[in-house]
Amino acid sequence: MILVTGASGFVGAPLARRLSLNEGYDVVGTIRKSASPCMSPVRSIPMADLSPDIDWRDALRGTSTIVHTAARVHVLRDAAVHPAEAYRLANTEATLSLAGQAAREGVKRFVFLSSVKVNGEVTEGNSAFTADDRVSPRDPYAQSKAEAECGLRKISEKTGMEVVIVRPPLVYGPGAKANFLSMMRWLYRGIPLPLGSIHNQRSLVAVANLVDLLVTCVRHPAAANETFLVSDGRDLSTPELLTLLGQALRKPVRLVRMPVPVLLIGARLSGKYAIAQRLCSSLRLDISKTKRLLNWVPPISVDEGLRRAADGFLNEARV
């Protein structure tokens, strides 16, 4: 049996569905108590918010593999009084508590959905992060993921439970939220965007490609005790991304050329600097190790991934 945590989430729901309906696994998914059970495509167990105090014995009974997608996700404006403590509690301590209980129950493999933010925030020039680079987390969310990775490796060394770590960049697809949803709204409304002068390169991953890699990590022998980066295999500049996404939305894209320093100054004055910095900077991932060890290639293209995201947006009229 496979346990998928966060099975009503953006990644967890399609993953649980794929494992159960397409791959034939017996899947149990944990969902938040506030979520409707109908949101989960498999047999679900309502759970409280992530905490090291959770007793996972019922969920772990008969489980051979865990895919841990549940997390306190990164947000640009965190309302928590102590964000670092909140991230560490949910993403580090709760993860290690689950892994420790899993090892005691005889779980053979623990697949952990981490983040490329563990590697860092920006790549320079033509450089790209690799899975084996020295980590450089810069904010509480990334630090909590890095600490969880370190703790999982120690548990693996001590107990023999296999650990697989997957670090994605921005994940997009039907139902995407946060900054990606904002971009689709801008484009749908025909808002002129002062982003035409940006010359960067960013790696993205369609949720379908990420799910496919997670399924591979569940069953591939070579995945054991490895760390993998994942992307669509094609990096895009911000103007390229907006142009392709506009085409998928069937909307004209209005990009205004503005010098990047001026754009950043304006963003700082309007309180949007963090968003602008991400739109202007590069973040490239080298997925050659993932391809080589797992004989894996992204099953869908960037164009197809963006089309699916756009179709999901249009179908839900999220404007």
| Distances from the Cα of 5 to the Cα of 52, 57, 78, 184, 224, angstroms | 14, 14, 23, 28, 19
User: Phi-psi bin for 222: left (phi > 0), alpha (psi -120 to 50), beta?
Assistant: alpha
Short-list 83, 195, 82, 74, CA closest to 142: 74
Q: Residues 7, 19: contact at Cβ < 8 Å?
A: no
Exposed (0-12), middle (13-18) or buried (19+): which is 248, by Cβ within 10 Å? buried
Given 141, 172, 188, 273, which residue is catalytic? 141
User: Catalytic site residue 273?
Assistant: no
Element (H, E) at 273: helix 273-280
Beta bridge partners of 217: none
* List of E strands, 160-226: 162-167, 170-172, 204-206
Short-list 306, 244, 280, 289, CA closest to 121: 280
* Residues marked as catalytic: 141
